[in-house]
Amino acid sequence: MPTLYGIKNCDTIKKARKWLDKNGINYRFHDYREDGLTTELLKNFLARSDWQTLLNQRSTSWRQLDAAQKSDLDEDKALKLMLETPTLIKRPVLEKDEKLLVGFKAEQYQAEFLL
């Protein structure tokens, strides 16, 4: 069963959940705030996606970081930042079988689930 990761009050999560529900796709929802975010889970994401894709540098959470936190980014520093502040992870992250889809685009979900 696919798992959708994110935060329930996020507008993009709401769009993805609405799309999945409308298309009769059964999925599990994992809320970072309620269900947590572990190093193991985040490393699992990073094994299938790069940190630049996962780290949302356009988010409000990113803008709230100080210059030192934003400078000299590499995978280890990005991992630490995302573990400390899960809202830095681009949403949603959808795990289906061995695939990982980051962000929501209806066309991408349609290609993955309906074609």
Assigned CATH class of 3-113: alpha beta
Position with higher pLDDT, 112 vs 114: 112
Distances (CA, A) of 103 to 40, 69, 108, 114: 21, 23, 10, 18
Annotated catalytic residue, options 3, 7, 9, 10: 10
Q: What's the pLDDT tens digit per position in 44-97?
A: 999 999 999 999 999 999 999 999 999 999 999 999 999 999 999 999 999 999
Instruction: Supply the pLDDT for residue 114.
Output: 85
Domain boundaries, the chain: 3-113
Whether residue 100 has pLDDT greater than 80: yes
Rounded percentage of the chain residues whose pLDDT exceeds 90: 97
Would residue 10 show up in a list of annotated catalytic residues for this protein? yes
Contact between 16 and 41 (Cβ < 8 Å) = no
Structure tokens at 96: 């289906």
Whether residue 115 has pLDDT greater than 70: no
Reduced to 3 DSSP states, what percent helix, strand and coil does the chain have, rounded to the nearest 5? 50, 15, 35
